[in-house]
A = this chain, B = another copy of it.
Amino acid sequence: MPIRVTLDEVITRKGIKARDLAGRVGISETQLSLFRSGKVKGIRFRTLAKMCAALECKPGDLLDYRFDAGDLADVSPDDEQG
């Protein structure tokens, strides 16, 4: 899952508190923390939209991707080998 969540950078840059953001976005601090540290596997657009609104930014500011040829192969963890 090489989508990188870059929310953290935005939070740091804006100097806002995670708790405040959670409040404004309307999600739990727990969920925000999980998202922030890249521990979630997806996101609802409703949530993403609210984050963008609260931070006045765009999806591309919160999510990034670095090309990885392996992404197209869909290697199952069992099949992998060196």
Contacts and interface: CB of A to CB of B under 8 A. Distances in A.
Given A63-B59, A64-B58, A1 B53 contact: no
A73 to B, nearest CB: 9
A2 interface: yes
Contacts of A41: 44-46
A interface, size bucket: 20 to 34
Contact of A65 (B2, B3, B49, B64): B49
Contact of A53 (B42, B46, B72): B72
Interface string A27-64: 00000000000001111111111101110101111011
17 contacts: A1-B49, A3-B49, A26-B74, A41-B45, A42-B42, A42-B43, A42-B45, A42-B47, A42-B48, A52-B65, A53-B69, A54-B72, A56-B67, A58-B65, A59-B64, A59-B65, A60-B61
